[in-house]
Amino acid sequence: MMEEIDRHNQRKGSEGGTITLCTGQECVSISPGNTLKEDGVVAVMTVTTTHGIYHANLVIGADGMNSQVRACLAHAAPGTWSSNCVPSSKFQLKQGVQSYLSLGLLPMKDNNAVRPTNIITRPNHEIWNINDGNSMREYFQKAFPRLDFHKDGIISEDEWERFAKAEGTRFPPCQYSPGLAVWDESGRSGVALVGDVIHAFSPDIGQSVNAGLMDVVSLDRALSGLDQETGKEKEAEAASNNNHDSTATTSLGSNLKQYQKRLRPEIAALIRLACFGAPYHYNQPHYADWVLKKLWTANVALRLILSKLTFGLIQPPFIILSQNSDLTFREVMNKAD
């Protein structure tokens, strides 16, 4: 990334628009420009060991699912942003919807290589309360009695101890932020959110990167005043420009409003797809999950068969429809419904 930033700055030179990379800083507050000395800008205070204030017309929050930028918008006082913006409560995340263990093993090309094993559990599983290696080994011996974990060479003492103290990796529940952007009353400054800041889910459906790119493309089209669906100049504006020989200008606030209006239903559809597309992909360790996975598989198979028999009159399941790059997430869910 540093090399790309250097190349960008060399191309721009004295033209302006260069990039300054600041690391180790965290956003702690965002306020519209009319609360500061400089009118019409947004000020973001970021803090590391020291703190500083930056001024900008547009702030893009792309700091992940635990976004501090979104948190600042969620806790903004009433009246901070334009009355046309969604209320601060809309930036609060909406989340979707024990003793059993399962092992997930991946194939290895080299038979002599160490083969990693995944332990797939629900977040409240009792295994996360075990903090020492001996207790962890005894738990596994009880859970998998056919395996002799006391045998030398299978798993070392150090590995048992390391695993017991590890926090593990947890996929987030399906969650999204209904609020995507804010702007001030003048419409000259604002904040836009993209990526995991506004939607986060497990990688079951393989759409995380696609969803992030969708946000960036939609924001770029909105800021450029292009049609959100086609990416081309809007016909009405093009006709107006031809007739009056002038270029219609729109405020940053109205562009951010179009971004939010276009993308919000797409994200709602995406989260529905993430919730129901492949919810039992990881063989969750609960007996109810085992039964529900069988029912989900039967539903997918039945819809596929009916779609074939009716020549597409009955749509295939949405996990199949999502592989069609010509369909938006909203179109996928509308067809599946």
Per-residue pLDDT of 264-276, as tens digits, reads: 999 999 999 888 8
Where are the extended beta strands (E) located within the chain? 26-31, 42-47, 51-56, 58-61, 94-95, 103-105, 117-119, 175-176, 181-183, 190-193, 199-200
Dihedral sign, Cα of residue 213, residue 218, residue 223, residue 228:
positive
For residues 30 and 21, the answer to whether their CB atoms sit within 8 Å is no
CA dist 68 → 86, 105, 122, 183 (Å): 18, 36, 27, 18
Instruction: In whole angstroms, give the CA distance from residue 174 to residue 181.
Output: 20
- The pLDDT, as a whole number, for residue 239 is 53
pTM over 0.75? The answer is: no
- Give me the mean pLDDT over the 235-241 stretch: 56
Predicted pLDDT at 236: 57
C-alpha separations of 125 from 142, 172, 190, 194, 227 in Å: 15, 16, 43, 32, 48
Residue 39 is predicted with a pLDDT of 47
In the three-class reduction of DSSP (H, G, I as helix; E, B as strand; rest coil), residue 83 is classed as coil
| pLDDT greater than 90 at residue 205 | no
Instruction: Report pLDDT for 215.
Output: 94
Query: Closest Cα to residue 179, out of 69, 310, 50?
Result: 69
For 173-193, the pLDDT digits (tens) are 888 999 999 998 888 889 999
258-284: string of b/e by CB count within 10 Å (b at 16+)? Answer: bbbebbbebbbbbbbbbbbbbbbbbeb
Q: Mind listing the pLDDT tens digit for each residue in 83-110?
A: 888 888 888 887 654 556 777 777 788 8
Is the pLDDT reported for residue 50 higher than 70?
no
Q: Which pLDDT tens digit goes with each residue over 104-163?
A: 777 788 878 877 888 777 767 788 889 999 999 998 888 888 888 888 777 888 989 999
Residue 194 and residue 264 in contact, taking contact as beta carbons nearer than 8 Å: no
How far, in Å, CA of 291 to CA of 10, rounded? 59
Nearest Cα neighbor of 189 from 18, 26, 31 is: 31
Q: Is the pLDDT of residue 223 over 80?
A: yes
